[in-house]
Amino acid sequence: MSFLARRVGSSVRWYSRYLQTTYNPASKLLKRPEFEPRSLFVIATPQHIDNLLTELGSISSEYEQLQIIAASTDSIPSGGTHRDGVSQMWLDEYITVNDSVRLEERDDNLEDNTGEESNGVIPVRANRPWKKMQTRLQVNLHNSDNGISTITTSLANSAFYFRDLCFMFYTRSHGADQLINANHNLAELTLTLPKQIRPTGFRSWNKLEQLSFDEDLAVTEHNHNLIKRINGQSAAGYLENCKRIMNLGSKDTKIFIELSNSSVQSEPRLYEVVAGGGGWGEKGKMLAISAGCEINTGDSVKFFMLHPEERYKGLAVPLDVQNASGLFVETTVEEKEYRDAQHEEERVIQNQFGFGSELGYTINGLQYNAGGSLTWIELE
């Protein structure tokens, strides 16, 4: 548990928070803090949803004014492979709910809903067929310069463990939402954490290997998310002629491109190359970049590779970071096949909170989509 002092006007106020991450929880998922909480933000992997709802029902009776925000993601950060855990954040302040979208509003083929009414904790569901849903959890953080840092991720597919395709809800609004979607299962949620959760630094890691070329590379022609030419030559040709890639000869190799511009003071932008090459006329000379990319003529180019032998392995997290305090967000490593539940020993780390998604995450608009990517957000 942490206590933080901050000056408010002419006085000093003490804030309380409790963060905890539990891997392979063996019994109770949640631990009550030693202070009177106003909000609980909890992330669980899908197999723990039912038990989480049971515990939240008890907690909401114990703390009648408690705001609960709960969601399920693919993993709890630990290098991209840990799909069994829960992460909790207890605060003595309310979390601002900025915006939300109900799951039934996201489904184009929605049937009539079930007519159920929420009991105040268990979210109302809707009937819908199996389909891949677009989901989003956005967490805003107050920076020391009064700006906002934005983290976005996606929810887990919870169909094998829950009655809906995803799991996310809140029980009490504090902000612009005004309880419009409280106690409903959500496809999208935007929230802002109180100023006591203030970042002081961001550190990121991934498993990518930089590819080398004989010259510096720059975008010379592009259209939307297509890079047509690099250094005046076929963009795809640089990858087709890269011996490092060709010698592997593996379809499991993933390629990423980093774009940057020295004339603009911003972080390099990393995107996945989703298609390109093959020699089919003019289109075969282009590279298609993942959606949401920002490409400018003159951007410097670097190519990176996710080696096929590394694609399904976790990131080796530095020892000094494994038990560090703060927020963690990761890109979960994709699974090649179904795996039975692993009965590993429970491990608890205090002062940590985080979540992970196979679809990656963004921080201030920058994409982190390579499996095993991890960002540590140090807190004040």
Q: What is the pLDDT of residue 262?
A: 79
Q: Are residues 44 and 129 in the same domain?
A: yes
Q: Looking at the structure, do residues 183 and 251 belong to the same domain, yes or no?
A: no
Return the pLDDT at 249: 86
What pLDDT, on a 0 to 100 scale, did the predictor assign at position 267? Answer: 85
Judge if 55 and 135 occupy the same domain: yes
- Interval 304-337: pLDDT, tens: 999 999 999 999 999 999 999 999 999 999 987 6
Q: Do 213 and 137 meet the contact criterion of CB atoms below 8 Å apart?
A: no
Task: Mark the ranges of the chain whose per-residue pLDDT is less than 50.
Answer: 5, 7-10, 109-115, 126, 129-130, 280
Give me the pLDDT at residue 292, please. 86
**Based on the domain organization, do 116 and 68 belong to the same domain?**
yes
Instruction: Please list, in sequence order, all residues whose beta carbon lies within 8 angstroms of the beta carbon of residue 87, skipping any fewer than 6 positions away.
Output: 19, 20, 21, 22, 42, 43, 44, 76, 352, 353, 354, 355
CA distance 152 to 138: 4
Coil, strand, or helix at residue 357?
strand
- CA nearest 292: which of 305, 317, 274? 274
**Domain boundary residue among 254, 286, 306?**
306
Question: Same domain for 172 and 317?
Answer: yes
Contact (Cβ atoms closer than 8 angstroms) between residue 229 and residue 221: yes
pLDDT recorded at residue 277: 60
Say whether both 327 and 189 belong to one domain: yes
Of the candidates 253, 286, 306, which is a domain's last residue? 306
Our count of domains for the chain comes to 2
User: What pTM was estimated for this model as a whole?
Assistant: 0.87
169 shares its domain with 214: no
Q: Are residues 190 and 244 both part of a single domain?
A: no
pLDDT for 132 equals 65
Q: Which domain holds residue 238?
A: 209-306
Of 258, 284, 306, the residue that ends a domain is: 306
pLDDT single digits (tens) 341-359: 567 899 999 999 999 999 9
244 with 290, same domain: the answer is yes
CA gap 42, 68 in Å, rounded = 8
Q: Are residues 219 and 179 both part of a single domain?
A: no
Same domain, 193 and 283: no
Based on the domain organization, do 54 and 198 belong to the same domain? yes
Q: What is the pLDDT of residues 82-124, one digit of tens each?
A: 999 999 999 999 999 999 999 988 765 444 444 455 555 555 5
